[in-house]
Amino acid sequence: MGSYIPTTKKEQLEMLKTIGYASFDELFSHIPQDVILKETLDLPSGLSEIEVQQTIKEIANKNKVYQHIFRGAGSYNHYIPSIVKSIASKEEFLTAYTPYQAEISQGILQSIFEFQTMISELTGMDVANASVYDGASAAAEAIGMCREKRRNKAYIASTIHPDVLDTIKTYAYANGIEIIIIDEVNGKVDIETLKSSVDKETACFYLQQPNFYGILEDASQISTIIHECGAKFIIGCHPISLGSIQSPRESGADIAVGEGQPLGIPISFGGPYLGFMATTNQMVRKLPGRIVGESVDIDGKRAFVLTLQAREQHIRREKASSNICSNQAYQALIASIYMATLGARGLEKVANQCLNKAHYLQKKLEELGFRLVYDAPFFNEFVTESTIRHKELFNRLEDLSILGGLPLDEHRILWCVTEQNSKASIDLLLQAITEVSK
Amino acid sequence: MNIPKELKYTKTHEWVKEEEDMLLIGLTDYAQYELGDLVFLNLPEIGDDVESNEVFGDVESVKAVSDIMSPATGIVEDINQVLFDQPELINQDPYNAWLIKIKEVKEVNELMDAEAYIAFLASL
Amino acid sequence: MKLLFEKSVQGRGCDIFPDDCGFEQIDLGTFKRKQAPHLPEISESELSRHYSELAKRTYGVNNGFYPLGSCTMKYNPKVNEAMANLETFTQIHPLQPIESIQGCLEILSKASKYLCEITGMDAMTFQPAAGAHGEFTGLLLIKAYHDSRNDHLRNKIIIPDAAHGTNPATANMLGYQVITIPSNQNGGVDIEKLKAAVGDDTAGLMLTNPNTIGLFDENILEITEIIHQVGGLNYYDGANLNAIMGIVKPGDMGFDIIHLNLHKTFSTPHGGGGAGSGPCGCKEFLTSFLPKPIVINNDECFTLENPLQSVGKVKAFYGNFLVVVKALTYILTLGKEGVKEVSQNAVLNANYMMKQLADTYDIPYGNQTCMHEFVISLAKEKHDLGISAMDIAKSLLDHGIHPPTMYFPLIIHEALMIEPTETETKETLDEVIAIFKLVYQKIKSSPDKLHASPILTPIRRVDEVKAARQLHLRYNDWDKS
């Protein structure tokens, strides 16, 4: 059993005596009898390190690691360069606290400043914050940013990730923003419905680009409609796709948010992930969460510091627009290293691999009887429909350690291809499907 | 501590000036001194209602946020836009850095004159 | 120190992907990005050195003493990291078939079971990503509960004035009006004022015990009962759980909902500000409102189910799963004996420091036994000699110690909140006590040195006013480089 308490029982008794207590019981004697626990906790006995890791590994081995992953839907299997893991494992970064004491936290603060810069550049926006919990909560927070006295309606595309939609609805249940969902037509936002729905009470419109089906929406057209009624345009973007597709800024967004997991963070059964938020200079004070700014110290040396803290809960308390305290600093660090390692050229290469390989798979699947459901440009995810029975198909894939696309219903599947899927891997998938189709 | 005689004062450290049929509101020298270097402020919009004894905005320093109370009920006629970019004007020249102008004044709290405010500050 | 962008040279880069992927290039047409982003152009070797330099300017609990009150900066065990890095966890897609994720679901189920035992709750969700997120979830449960009973009058949340800023901020996020209750002269909740503030419009109370001054409120059962009597619910802020594990259960103190900070009490690393994990636990009658999905244990066969009246989701998927792995590894290491020892020694270490600093510093509640943390006040020194808590804190930096939490809780002026945690040795505590006393002497002997500190750190005090007035939140000088 370990408790990481370095002092021995003998030392502990001595310390107790030094401050006037004969025992631990005496130290806690001021706790009322009617609440103090009389029995020991019903937990197993503690384990030594070798035993604990055997126990955990046994549980972990009940999971299945797929060798070939063709599933996305909000969690993407991208290649993580070795240098990312190496740098991220530095103990200083892992065990540091929030950089409230700027003098000894310049390392963390500078890395956040670099992160903010890179996210701003990636999205084309003016400024970014130091990160939030994940893409879904970032979307919900962005909607909160757009609320005004006379604008309390948030319009949401139905073509977004269902978990993001659920999160937006939950936050709206909390704060009373009215949520209106704009329906889809052929896998994209119904522009006509959008046009006729928005009015001067519209706070914002939230679009996912590419959307949940992988389709590229007509963001620029939507931007015009939204801005005409004086509302704000929020785009939930996919950071890898920004290596080659139009940035949120180019599409007319006022706020860009997204899930940063693809930037060097493993799929990890859904977390910890990384939410990023970027916006225009006009809206910077509405950004929730931590922000790092550059200044100087009293000797005139460059110095980074947490700034605009008067927006935050620890100062504003019940007047704060968000209660967010922690960010995902460590994940933001990983993302920074990833973006710095790849650079713009590397990111474009990854984006193109995803784009090209996905289209290759889509064409081949078409030949095998998997019809493309929506005839629209897509990035690296797409939906197919076929008469092949899913049970048979997925059983065969299971044998080959292939995680196929996500079944959306009995006949439709949402496929995803990344740079991690080699040609051999894609061909293996195609061969398996060919066998099942026979 | 600068306390101009011609102005009126509130217990929450705002100064009040009557100008024609409007009221100008600002922060006293004592307020700006206690708050420290101001970095931002939030004000209502022109046309908004303000109510006496209700918060109408706030000022931010690096480490704190402070509410600003309205001493009167009325409608916001004008706000001092220049302060958004230069909040330090409130520190430098508090009695010229008016925050809002209130028109159609219905209710005004009991205000202190300069002497009473000096005595009030001494009692703190 | 230069930024990555200032070290960039056009044409440099790392070699991670081949130029040609061997597939037909798809034309994106109008969707193609027009302006490429400015990202660093830097070699792998320079990148490596850049972050080594940044690491040198970073101070973690792995470097030294970190007595941040309310943060529980205890040692981060390395075996936790090893377990969280297993490929059998990191390479699991959240939407895999249920048969292939039994290990992940077992982790969540076991963590829930043990944490419920420690806290006296009946069910738990790991979806909230941090403490504040857990608070948000907890208040959602309160709102959903009252809504389900058509009890729409309840629009007030009661919070003591000593509470952490996230408490009122969270209440505000749900549109509740915050009623602040002052503390009595013992630092506890003023019972009479509490009785006067409650009524039919009370949705609930948010409280932590021990409170943010580090004291155990002995009236806790009376306090929670007052809220229950008027039909409100009691929410426990678990930030201070390190003081009471195995000694008291929040569930036994009258609390209906709790949140925990795995990155505080359960040893998962802070990572420079996150990711943490803020699970939210509740009593049986609130289980049907929990965020969806929750893990159900059918005889060691695990499934995911949506609670019938679920408030929805507070983030995508299931929560910060790898953080839960670390916390569970820690709980299994501790076991029933270790859990109690942790709290016993956290309280011992805090009292050990407090009692020995009491002859030097002003400790407002120093005549009482503190729990896992205590607060010293520099109010008198500020008033008489112009030396502030900030000056003391910055001076500690020159002695290689991370300062305690400054200016919190708000009810004590010029506060420094100290929480040593249980993973510090007696020698470290003795050394730190000596340094605190040394710094105090400087108040009389060399106050100018205190005002000027820190001197030995990579940078000195920052012009925060300039940072807030002249917003410079990103690098922008691409043309120059």
What is the pTM assigned to this prediction? 0.94
Q: Which of A149, A285, A315 sits opposite B64 (nearest CB)?
A: A315
Q: CA of A284: how far to CAs of A278, A307, A308, A316, in Å?
A: 8, 12, 10, 17
**B116 inside domain:** no
Are C330 and C443 found together in one domain? no
CATH of span A68-78+344-437: 3.90.1150.10
CA dihedral A97, C331, C84, C130 (to 10 degrees): -40
pLDDT digits (tens, 9 = 90+) for C334-351: 999 999 999 999 999 999
Provide Rg for chain A, Cα atoms: 26
Q: Render pLDDT for C296-330 as a digit per residue (tens, 0 to 9).
A: 999 989 999 999 999 999 999 999 999 999 999 99
Please indicate, yes or no, whether residues C395 and C265 belong to a single structural domain of this protein: no
Return d(Cα C101, Cα A60) in angstroms, integer: 9
Tell me if C407 and B88 make a contact (CB, 8 A cut-off).
Answer: no
Q: Could you write out the three-class secondary structure of C225-279? A: HHHHHCCCEEEEEHHHHHHCCCCECHHHHCCCEEECCCCCCCCCCCCCCCCCCCC
C-beta atoms of C468 and B88 within 8 A? no
pLDDT at A313: 65
Determine contact: B55 vs chain C, CB below 8 A. Answer: no
Residue B43 within a domain:
yes
| β-strand pairing of C280-282 with C301-305 | unpaired
Strands C177-181 and C156-160, bridge-based pairing: parallel
Are C330 and C350 members of one domain?
no
C387 and C311 in a common domain: no
Contacts of C467 in chain B (CB under 8 A): 62
For B22-40, give the DSSP string: EEEEEE-HHHHHHH-SEEE
CB within 8 Å: C317 and A74:
yes
Binned at pLDDT 50, 70 and 90, residue C270 comes out as very high
Q: In chain C, what's the furthest Cα-to-Cα distance?
A: 77
Q: What is the pLDDT of residue A309?
A: 72
Q: By residue range, what is the domain housing residue B37?
A: 8-105
Question: Above 70 in pLDDT, residue A40?
Answer: yes
C295 and C362 in one domain? no
Specify the higher pLDDT residue, C198 or A326. C198
In angstroms, the CA A100 to CA A108 distance is 10
What pLDDT is recorded for position C131? 92
Query: Is C17 within the bounds of a domain?
Result: no
Which two three-digit tokens encode residue A346? Answer: 């590397």
Q: How many domains does chain C have?
A: 2
- Is a pLDDT exceeding 60 seen at residue C481? no
What integer pLDDT is reported at residue C108 of this predicted model? 98
A196 has pLDDT over 90: yes
The amino acid at A348: E
Query: How far is C214 from chain B, CA to nearest CA, in Å?
Result: 24
Highest mean pLDDT among A275-279, B35-39, B115-119, C68-72: A275-279
Determine, yes or no, domain membership for B117: no
Strand partners, A189: A184
Give yes or no for A33 touching C (CB within 8 A): no
Residue of A nearest to B63 (CA): A310
Instruction: Tell whether C66 is covered by a domain.
Output: no
- In chain B, the number of structural domains is 1
Residues C97 and C219 occupy one common structural domain: yes
A1 vs C319: CB contact, 8 Å cut-off?
Answer: no
Whether residue B42 is contained in a domain is answered as: yes
Give the pLDDT confidence score for residue C85 in this predicted structure. Answer: 96
Architecture of domain A82-338: 3-Layer(aba) Sandwich (3.40)
Of C318, C334, C350, the domain-final residue = C334
CA distance A348 to chain B (A): 39
Residue C407 contacts B where some CB pair is shorter than 8 Å: yes
Q: Would C47 be classed as within a structural domain? A: no
Mean pLDDT of all residues in chain A? 94
Supply φ then ψ for residue A14, to 5 degrees. Answer: -60, -45
Q: Are residues C377 and C324 in the same domain?
A: no
Whether C358 and C310 share a structural domain = no
The DSSP secondary-structure symbol of A367 reads H
Q: Decide if C213 contacts C187 (C-beta within 8 A).
A: yes
Q: Identify the burial level of B85 via C-beta atoms within 10 angstroms of its C-beta, where 0-12 means exposed, 13-18 middle and 19 or more buried.
A: exposed
The 10s digit of each residue's pLDDT in A205-236 is 999 999 999 999 999 999 999 999 999 999 99
What gap in Å lies between CA A215 and CA A33, rounded to an integer? 63
- To the nearest whole angstrom, how far is the Cα of B115 from the nearest Cα of chain A? 34
Domains A68-78+344-437 and A82-338 share a fold: no
Q: What percent of chain C has pLDDT over 90?
A: 85
Looking at the predicted structure, is the pLDDT value of residue A201 above 70?
Answer: yes
Residues C244 and C287 in one domain: yes
Residue A322 C-alpha, separation from nearest chain C C-alpha, in angstroms: 6
Q: State yes or no: pLDDT of B64 exceeds 80.
A: no
pLDDT computed for residue C192 by the predictor: 96
Q: List chain C residues with CB under 8 Å of B39.
A: 465, 468-469
pLDDT at C97 over 70: yes
Shortest alpha-carbon distance between residue A131 and chain B (Å): 21
Contacts of A257 (CB under 8 A, 6+ apart): A135, A138, A139, A141, A142, A234, A235, A236, A237, A275, A276, A277, A278
**Nearest-neighbour CA in chain C from B48: distance (Å):** 21
Across A331-350, average pLDDT: 97
CATH of the domain at C443: 3.90.1150.10
Q: What is the mean pLDDT of chain C?
A: 94
Give A280: exposed, middle or buried? Use CB within 10 Å, 0-12, 13-18, 19+.
middle
Indicate whether B110 belongs to any domain: no
Strand order in the sheet with B38-42: B38-42, B55-61, B65-69
Cα-to-chain-centroid distance, residue C100 = 32
Is residue C49 in some structural domain?
no
List the CATH number of the domain containing C96.
Answer: 3.40.640.10
Rounded distance between C-alpha atoms, residue A240 and residue A133, angstroms: 19
pLDDT digits (tens, 9 = 90+) for C367-399: 999 999 999 999 999 999 999 999 999 999 999
Residues in chain A with CB shorter than 8 Å from the CB of B63 are 309-310, 315
Q: Is residue C139 part of a domain?
A: yes
**Interface ipTM above 0.95:** yes
Q: Where are the domains of chain A?
A: 9-50, 68-78+344-437, 82-338
Residue C69 within any structural domain of the chain: no
Q: How far apart are the first and last CA of chain B?
A: 14
Q: Which residue of C has its CA nearest to B61?
A: C465
CATH classification of the domain holding B27: 2.40.50.100
Q: Which residues of A touch C369 (CB under 8 A)?
A: 27, 30
The per-residue pLDDT for A310 is 63
Contact C140 A37 (CB under 8 A): no
Round to whole Å and give the CA distance between A222 and A239: 20
More confident residue, C64 or A128: A128
Mean pLDDT value across residues C195-213: 95
Chains that touch B (3 or more CB pairs under 8 A): A, C
- Domain containing C369 equals 341-466
Return the residue in B65, B76, B84, B85 with the most chain A beta carbons within 10 A, the one to mutate for interface testing. Answer: B65
pLDDT in tens, B88-109: 999 999 999 999 999 988 888 8
Residue B83 lies in a domain: yes
What pLDDT does residue C479 have? Answer: 66
Cβ C276 vs Cβ C263: under 8 Å: yes
Residues C109 and C191 in one domain: yes
pLDDT exceeding 70 applies to what percent of chain A? 97
pLDDT at C22: 85
Cβ–Cβ < 8 Å for A135, A259: yes
Residue of A nearest to B44 (CA): A149
C178 has pLDDT over 80 = yes
